[in-house]
């Protein structure tokens, strides 16, 4: 029942690397299908979900700049790569019966819709999953900031950051067995301690708009549904 859910409309940010599976590059269809299944399970309950997907599995502006490509151009290439990930996710979602629209911040009218806020809201109200592609449409930004921006624009109840780890720890849980997970953190602490959760600009935008950021693991089955219900393992930044 919807009343059992703490968050009814969320923006889920998925890093490009989450789509690689065991590979070192690119899109692992099996992994995309698994994550799509998580989204479908929550969508089935009537929850509204929008997605922002990064492109670290294909192309990153900063790394490309290091090889000699001019920064802004490299960033546009990175944004184009997010469109490929968005289309892969759309395909996976539609194959399991979830109606999906891709909206790109860089107009690409033969491939997908362009970003139109009110239209995106309408899609969500109609029960469609909206995937926001091409980041913010601007170089020098990241998809973290794009996710925060869209979460605010879409009036989401929370910004969910799906990662490989089930929250934010006081030290690296992969190397330190005594690492402790924070249940909650303040926006301020994340910024002042420079905790590597999301870009500072994304955190600041969520702080200004009072939207909680929930860090959780996309590896666990049913985690998305659990987080939206207000339980499940996570760190809540508020
Ligand atoms: N990018 C950009 N502006 C944006 C979003 C992304 O220029 O608003 C570019 C940037 O080059 C970035 C790349 O797209 O490196 C991929 O995004 P990101 O690094 O955020 O992906 P993730 O780390 O989440 O996989």
Rounded (10°) angle between helices 29-44 and 71-95: 60
Distance CA 196, CA 90 (A): 29
What's the complex ipTM? 0.99
Classify each residue of 10-34 as buried b or exposed e, where b means 16 or more C-beta atoms within 10 Å of its C-beta: bbbbbbbbbbbeeeeeebbeebbbe
Instruction: Tell me the best of 12, 103, 135, 197 to mutate to test the pocket of ligand 1, counting ligand atoms within 8 Å of each CB and taking the most.
Output: 135
Q: Contact 173/143 with Cβ under 8 angstroms?
A: no
Instruction: Tell me the best of 17, 24, 73, 78 to mutate to test the pocket of ligand 1, counting ligand atoms within 8 Å of each CB and taking the most.
Output: 78
Q: What is the pLDDT along the chain (238 residues), one digit of tens a residue?
A: 667 899 999 999 999 999 999 999 999 999 999 999 999 999 999 999 999 999 999 999 999 999 999 999 999 999 999 999 999 999 999 999 999 999 999 999 999 999 999 999 999 999 999 999 999 999 999 999 999 999 999 999 999 999 989 999 999 998 999 999 999 999 999 999 999 899 999 999 999 999 999 999 999 899 999 999 999 999 999 9
Owning domain of residue 52:
2-237
Q: Is 157 annotated as a binding residue?
A: no
Distance CA 155, CA 25 (A): 34
Q: How far is the CA of 45 from the centre of ligand 1 (A)?
A: 31
Q: Could you tell me the CATH number of the domain that includes residue 79? A: 3.40.1160.10
Whether the CB of 143 sits within 6 Å of ligand 1: yes
Counted domains in the chain: 1
Instruction: Please provide the DSSP assignment of 13-32 as one string.
Output: EE-GGGGSTTSSSS--HHHH
């Amino acid at each position: 029942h919807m009343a059992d859910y703490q968050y009814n409309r969320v923006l889920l940010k998925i890093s490009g690397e989450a789509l690689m599976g065991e590979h070192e590059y690119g899109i692992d269809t099996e992994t995309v299908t698994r994550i799509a299944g998580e989204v479908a399970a929550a969508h089935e309950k009537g929850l509204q979900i929008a997605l922002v997907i990064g492109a670290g599995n294909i192309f990153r502006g900063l790394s490309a700049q290091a090889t000699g490509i001019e920064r802004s151009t490299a960033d546009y290439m990175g944004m184009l790569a997010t469109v490929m990930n968005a289309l892969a996710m759309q395909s996976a979602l539609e194959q399991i019966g979830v109606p999906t629209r891709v909206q790109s911040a860089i107009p690409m009218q033969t491939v997908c819709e362009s970003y139109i806020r009110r239209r995106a809201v309408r899609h969500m109200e109609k029960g469609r999953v909206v995937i926001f592609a091409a980041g913010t449409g601007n170089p020098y930004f990241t998809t973290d900031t794009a996710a925060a921006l869209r979460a605010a624009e879409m009036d989401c109840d929370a910004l969910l950051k799906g990662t490989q780890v089930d929250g934010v720890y006081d030290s690296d849980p992969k190397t330190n067995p005594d690492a402790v997970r924070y249940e909650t953190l303040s926006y301020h602490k994340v910024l002042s301690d420079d905790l590597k959760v999301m870009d500072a600009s994304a955190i600041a935008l969520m702080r200004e708009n009072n939207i909680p950021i929930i860090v959780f693991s996309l590896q666990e089955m049913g985690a998305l549904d659990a987080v939206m219900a207000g339980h499940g393992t996570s760190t809540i930044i508020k």
